[in-house]
Amino acid sequence: MKFISISELEKWYPLNFEKNLKGRQIVLSDIEPLIKNLSSKFDKKIIGYSENNLPIYKLAIGSGPTKILTWSQMHGNESTGTKALFDLFLFFESDDNKCKKIINQILSNCTLEFIVLLNPDGAINFTRENAHNIDLNRDAVAQKAVESKILRSNLDNFNPQFCFNLHDQRSIFNVEGTSNPATLSFLAPSEDIERTITKGRKETMSVIGKINDFLQQIIPNQIGRYTDEFYPTATGDNFQKLGHNTILIEAGHFKNDYDREITRKFNFYALLKGLFFIAASTKFTDYNSYFKIPNNDKRFLDIIYKNVHSIRNNKPYIEDIGIQYKFKVENNKLIKYKWVQERGNLSTFHTYELINGENLDIKDLKLSNS
């Protein structure tokens, strides 16, 4: 069976995506009513509580033999995957005939479980860490956080063949060799410090390769490959090592899309294509295309001010100022602010907003860390 075409998805998406989720900050109160509104096709349950006693939900659908576990927002400030998951859930609810064929293929061959917001405390604070300042993505071995224990317990009980680990990455990442931001990046995590290409990694890479082939049709040269440096305490590395093929998706920047509403669409497409490929395949051996995906580089800036006047060592100095937008919660509102990420000669960096700063002093920019 052929996968749904880009043109068909592009027609379906704007009419059917989850319009009740928007913006950069997604918290538990945003998703709870949406969970309740999902049909009985989904099994819904609370599988535990966060450090601050907020419920953590798991949704399950499908009856096939291939088990796939997906989780989002293990970093509370990385919400694009959560929005994409609820778009995916509405796709599974669709009555469109073209969608139904894809839905039936996936749900008859796979059993899917989704932990839709693993770190609800961090989501409220818009922090990477949980309420006890623990990075869940570096807690796979120690499991000091209750949320880490919940994820690992669910993994052990479900025993999935594949996992999707959903993250966001900073807008500083570009696709190596291009001036394009890395709108989505993928990783087949390493199992050891040597980055051995094991059977499990080959299977993971083959899925990512098919996702990339599909996405290149709509966002060519905006897909990157995240570094596969081995992290002994990281979730993906450890789950991959345990035999659960883990596909890491990093949602990044698209032009003028700081709320990541466009990126969420491509994230949804990636998930749907990945699930379909797993459901429709018996072998996962075509992994070489994974290495055709360019690496991520760190040479994209939100704004570059050229030739700004500043003072260095009590002497006047002219330099470029590279800005990255950051976000924080103030008075229960999410605030976007400018942060100096790079300074000096930034001629090798890329941006969508290049500003002539010849008549500006760095003090005029009113930057948080200038």
Can you give the pLDDT at residue 362? 83
Share of the chain above pLDDT 90, in %: 94
In the numeric block, the tokens 């899309």 are attached to 257
- Do residues 114 and 47 make contact, with C-beta atoms less than 8 angstroms apart? no
Predicted confidence band of residue 369 (pLDDT cuts 50, 70, 90)? low
User: CB 157: neighbour CB atoms within 10 A?
Assistant: 9
User: CB 308: neighbour CB atoms within 10 A?
Assistant: 24
| Verdict on whether the full-model pTM lies above 0.95 | yes
> What is the strand order of the sheet 55-62 is part of?
43-49, 55-62, 110-115, 66-72, 162-168, 245-251, 184-187, 223-225
Can you give the pLDDT at residue 160? 98
Predicted confidence band of residue 360 (pLDDT cuts 50, 70, 90)? confident
186: pLDDT strictly greater than 60 = yes
Can you give the pLDDT at residue 368? 59
340: pLDDT strictly greater than 70 = yes
The one-letter amino acid at 76: G
256: pLDDT strictly greater than 80 = yes
Q: Among the ranges 135-149, 310-324, 330-344, which has the highest mean pLDDT value?
A: 135-149
List helix spans (H) across 216-322: 235-241, 261-280
Predicted confidence band of residue 365 (pLDDT cuts 50, 70, 90)? confident
* pLDDT tens digits for range 89-131: 999 999 999 899 999 999 999 999 999 999 999 999 999 999 9
Min mean pLDDT across 156-165, 266-275, 306-315, 349-358 is at 306-315
Phi–psi pair at 120, nearest 5 degrees? -65, -25
Sign of the dihedral defined by the CA atoms of residues 237, 284, 151, 20, in that order: positive
Share of the chain above pLDDT 70, in %: 99
* pLDDT tens digits for range 165-185: 999 999 999 999 999 999 999
254: pLDDT strictly greater than 70 = yes
Residues 305-319, mean pLDDT to the nearest whole number: 90
* Alpha-carbon dihedral 261, 263, 268, 270, rounded to 10 degrees: 180
Q: CATH number for 6-297: choose from 3.40.50.300, 3.30.2130.10, 1.10.1530.10, 3.40.630.10.
A: 3.40.630.10
Residue of 206, 199, 189, 191 whose CA lies nearest to 250 = 189
Can you give the pLDDT at residue 2? 93
* pLDDT tens digits for range 213-234: 999 999 999 999 999 999 999 9
Residues 235-262, mean pLDDT to the nearest whole number: 98
370: pLDDT strictly greater than 60 = no
Domain boundaries, the chain: 6-297, 303-365
